[in-house]
Amino acid sequence: MEHTNEFLPDHAETDHDNAEAASAVHAPRDPGVVEEFWDARYADMAQLWSGHPNGTLLTEMQDLPAGRALDVGCGEGADALYLAEHGWRVTALDVSQVALDRAVAQAAVRNVTVNWLHAGLVDAALPRASFDLVSAQYPALLRTDGNVAEHALLAAVAPNGVLLFVHHPAPTKEEAAAHGFHVDDYVGPAEVAALLDDSWQVEVDETRPRHVATGAGSHHTHDVVLRARRLR
């Protein structure tokens, strides 16, 4: 799972992915400790998130025919389970086994099938051009010189498929520094959009109000939404 850090945001609008506590703690950059970090965060509570799917996902999938979907950073599985219940063939990945175990348990209760992958996006070795919907809700994808995470997202989208990348507006450098991280460490919608060439059509690129009354991310008031369709 590509998690948000605690200041940058939560995976789900009504709580379903990554930990965002009252005190800001950010995810480590060292890949060797990322899994341990998120397992510990999930293990702190019996359930971190409410189990409701992200509101932006619900809005943006309304006009999409069910097909193959990839949920990047699925956490406890709310988005993946919702998609599966609505006819999608879902692959959902996360670096936290604790989170995935909860997602698997919910899938059994709800009698739905999801292909759960214990992996981060870059390490998942996903088949290229295989998903009609690639959904990344508030991910903490680390930036690299080669834009590795961004290219992994784009490569997963099938022709005529949709990439949905949602984040909260980035904090200022001063705000980020106060919480112990650098804004430039993480991939945002602008970094993804900058890599879109004429084989893509941008369908949505906007900041919109966000209305969430409960949950760890309820203090966020806006979302940045990038939706792009792969033409070929």
Give pLDDT tens digits along the chain (232 positions): 334 433 333 444 333 333 333 223 455 666 568 889 889 989 998 887 778 898 999 999 999 999 999 999 999 999 999 999 999 999 999 999 999 999 999 999 999 999 999 999 999 999 999 999 999 998 989 999 999 999 999 999 999 999 999 987 766 667 666 666 676 788 999 999 999 999 999 999 998 876 654 444 555 556 899 999 999 9
Q: What is the pLDDT of residues 92-103, one digit of tens each?
A: 999 999 999 999
Q: What is the pLDDT of residues 58-89, one digit of tens each?
A: 999 999 999 999 999 999 999 999 999 999 99
Q: What is the CATH number of the domain that holds 54?
A: 3.40.50.150
Domain total of the chain: 1
**Which whole-number Å values give the CA distances from 148 to 5, 107, 155, in the listed order?**
19, 31, 10
pTM of the model: 0.84
Q: What is the pLDDT of residues 32-53, one digit of tens each?
A: 688 898 899 899 988 877 788 9
Full residue range of the structural domain in which residue 66 is found:
31-213+221-230
Give the whole-angstrom CA distance, residue 232 versus residue 157.
Answer: 10
SS3 per-residue string spanning 172-222: CHHHHHHCCCCHHHECCHHHHHCCCCCCEEEEEEEEEECCCCCCCCCCCCE
Asked if residue 20 belongs to a domain, the reply is: no
Asked if residue 13 belongs to a domain, the reply is: no
Asked if residue 4 belongs to a domain, the reply is: no
What length does the chain have? 232
Asked if residue 24 belongs to a domain, the reply is: no
Asked if residue 23 belongs to a domain, the reply is: no
Sign of the CA dihedral 70, 100, 104, 86?
Answer: negative
Asked if residue 80 belongs to a domain, the reply is: yes
Asked if residue 12 belongs to a domain, the reply is: no
Asked if residue 122 belongs to a domain, the reply is: yes
Give the whole-angstrom CA distance, residue 195 versus residue 176.
Answer: 25
